[in-house]
Structure 1
């Protein structure tokens, strides 16, 4: 089990990463729309990994459960792509 210090550090990192979206879209003279969108997606992936790893305790689980979660996320991604394709 992680300590309070670890959870506090993760919380601060999540807070900093959460302000990244604001920075990307507020300083449009430095970032194009697509750069801001790509940066936001990358920050969202990092934030999701931290939340899954520490707050949902996946770092302390066997690797097989982590692989199962990864496969599930990939399947949801495929379903989203398929749904988007069928709407067009």
Structure 2
């Protein structure tokens, strides 16, 4: 059985990091600094969601690596799309 306390802590972390992302957007930082901060926060949130809410933490490592490759591909496509906007 999973711990309700653990899921509450994860929820609070995800909520706070989403709030920080919004604050970064409105902080008036340079584009690349804001972009970098938001991408780092998004990657951390994606890993936490995959690990705990999709239960990859308790799956075999090969499945975790497979999902990690998909995450890396999505990140690469996001970066490529950001260059096409400029």
For Structure 1 versus Structure 2, the TM-score category normalised by the shorter chain is 0.7 to 0.9
TM-score by length of 1: 0.77
Relative contact order (C-alpha < 8 Å, sep 6+): which is higher? 1
RMSD: 2.3
| 1:7 has 2:7 as partner | yes
CA distance in 2, matches of 1:74, 1:21: 20
Instruction: State the number of aligned residues.
Output: 81
TM-score by length of 2: 0.79
| 1:46 has 2:44 as partner | yes
CA shift digits 1:16-69 (9 cap, x unpaired): 0001111112221xx212111110000000000010000000001111110121
What corresponds to 2:65 in structure 1? 67
CA distance in 2, matches of 1:38, 1:77: 12
Bigger radius of gyration:
1
CA distance in 2, matches of 1:27, 1:76: 26
CA distance in 2, matches of 1:46, 1:75: 15
